[in-house]
Amino acid sequence: MQFIICKKNANVSDKVIEKAKKKIGKFDKFFRPETEAHLTFSIEKERCIFEVTIYAKGTIIRAEESTDDMYASIDLAVEKLERQIRKHKTRLGKKIRQEAMVPENYDIAEAIEEDDDFKVVKTKRFPLKPMSLEEAILQMKLLGHSFFVFTNAETEKVNVVYSRKDGKYGLLEPEE
């Protein structure tokens, strides 16, 4: 696994970075060697925020935690990743993403923010890869988002899948 380190308003010691790499490195057995793990350390209003995003051939797994201590934030984010992998291990191990994962090792288990002036304060860019509706729902859950934009592999159109308040899912498709 390759690590990409980012610090935002944080003076993080090498010791903290090495601990994070070691903790996230234990997930290495689940992914192919070319997998990237983006580790982001930031401090906002005396809160230590640790965010990890693992990019593996179109599959993205993400966890973010915020506490008063960076070590605690790292530990909580790792626990969150473990829960996500355990919860979705069957689907992740299927053919859907075998090119990204190492299925035999599964023994364990963008939002754009707007204010009242419609000012865009953050922009995220990501590749739109063709995938099935099931894959899109899985990806949305792994990211912890309430919606996910994807290219539908059947229709080759951009779609949006979203979580409804009743716990089910909705799909937005463009009209022709």
For 21-67, write each residue's pLDDT tens digit. 999 998 888 777 888 999 999 998 889 999 999 888 777 889 999 99
For residues 152 and 133, is the Cβ–Cβ distance under 8 A?
A: yes
Predicted local confidence at residue 115, as pLDDT: 38
For residues 137 and 162, is the Cβ–Cβ distance under 8 A?
A: no
Predicted local confidence at residue 117, as pLDDT: 59
Predicted local confidence at residue 143, as pLDDT: 87
pLDDT at 158 over 90: yes
% of the chain with per-residue pLDDT over 90: 45
Query: 0.95 cut: is pTM over it?
Result: no
pLDDT at 95 over 60: no
Predicted local confidence at residue 109, as pLDDT: 44
- Among candidate residues 83, 17, 20, 96, the one with its CA nearest the CA of residue 57: 96
* CA 97 and chain centroid, separation: 15
Predicted local confidence at residue 110, as pLDDT: 36
DSSP state at residue 94: S
Predicted local confidence at residue 46, as pLDDT: 85
Distance CA 74, CA 165 (A): 30
- Among candidate residues 113, 115, 173, 170, the one with its CA nearest the CA of residue 146: 170
Burial of 167 (0-12, 13-18, 19+ CB in 10 A): exposed
pLDDT at 167 over 90: no
Looking at 86-163, which runs of residues are DSSP E strands? 130-131, 147-152, 158-163
Higher pLDDT, 68 or 58: 68
Average per-residue pLDDT for the chain: 82
Q: What are phi and psi of 84, to 5 degrees?
A: -65, -45
pLDDT at 105 over 60: no
For 112-152, write each residue's pLDDT tens digit. 343 345 677 888 887 788 999 999 999 899 888 899 999 99
